[in-house]
């Protein structure tokens, strides 16, 4: 009996240390963001070759109930629940929904994703991460996007256990957007697919962040695009 209680307490503590990204701006949870498979457990994706690495959807193909209209150049907050408790990098990718399809159901497959945001640590006696402890991270929707519907993919990589293969923890979700007011001149240098963008051996994924303290850090995937 005592063992089962201890295990239950441990499981609760682990779940509370994890997190989800369920909303954008001031909207409700899972209204504009596709419900993720970890919406109750808060558990991460650890296999970068899994289909879950794209949007981590609970029910692929169903989408979120709504599509959020934003203006190109607008900055929006992508919210964590409860907060980003692990050390590691935060990034955002965006993908344009093809003509004739909708952000509510499009699967986001193929080399269609470009990175629009990437943070980096400061390094001294240790590594300090801008997003650690944050309840939301703001991202600017590029002003040069073409008008239309998009998926916006939030990704935080927990690197606290990344010293062995499969130890990095990916916390992911995808928001459904409709972008207006864009110039239409966006021309990304790199388009990637999920899975496909990362390998488990990438130096930004397989890394001991504690000892010896790395002298630099290279995030996985392409560089963030600019207009």
Sole residue written with tokens 């890394």: 207
Q: What pLDDT is recorded for position 30?
A: 98
- Measured from the Cβ of residue 152, the count of other Cβ atoms closer than 10 Å reads 26
pLDDT tens for each residue of 46-97: 999 999 999 999 999 899 999 999 999 999 999 999 999 999 999 999 999 9
**CA gap 37, 43 in Å, rounded:** 8
User: DSSP string covering 99-141, please?
Assistant: TT--TTT----SS-BEEEEE---EESSSEE-TTTT-SEEEEEP
Strand ranges (E), the chain: 20-24, 68-71, 75-81, 90-96, 114-118, 122-123, 127-128, 136-140, 148-158, 169-180
Strand ranges (E), 159-190: 169-180
How much is the average pLDDT of 113-131?
A: 97
Q: What band does 2 get if pLDDT is binned at 50, 70 and 90?
A: very low
How much is the average pLDDT of 176-186?
A: 98
């Amino acid at each position: 009996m005592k063992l089962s209680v201890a295990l239950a307490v441990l499981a609760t503590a682990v779940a509370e240390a994890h997190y989800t990204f369920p909303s954008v701006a001031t909207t409700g949870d899972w209204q504009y963001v596709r419900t993720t498979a970890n919406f109750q457990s808060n558990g991460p994706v650890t296999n970068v070759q899994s289909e879950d690495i794209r949007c981590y959807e609970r029910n692929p193909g169903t989408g979120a109930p709504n599509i959020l209209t934003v203006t190109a150049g607008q900055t929006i907050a992508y919210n964590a629940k409860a907060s980003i408790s692990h050390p590691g990098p935060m990034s955002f990718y965006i993908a344009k929904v093809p003509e004739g399809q909708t952000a509510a159901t499009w699967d986001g497959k193929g080399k269609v994703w470009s990175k629009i945001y990437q943070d980096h640590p400061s390094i001294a006696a240790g590594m300090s991460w801008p997003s650690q402890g944050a309840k939301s991270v703001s991202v600017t929707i590029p002003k040069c996007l073409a008008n239309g519907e998009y998926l916006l993919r939030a990704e935080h990589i927990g690197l606290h256990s990344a010293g062995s293969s499969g130890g990095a923890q990916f916390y992911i979700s995808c928001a459904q957007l409709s972008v207006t007011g864009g110039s239409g001149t966006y021309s990304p240098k790199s388009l990637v697919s999920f899975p496909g963008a990362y390998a488990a051996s990438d130096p930004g994924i397989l890394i001991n962040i504690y000892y010896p303290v790395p002298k630099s850090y290279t995030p996985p995937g392409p560089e963030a695009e600019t207009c």
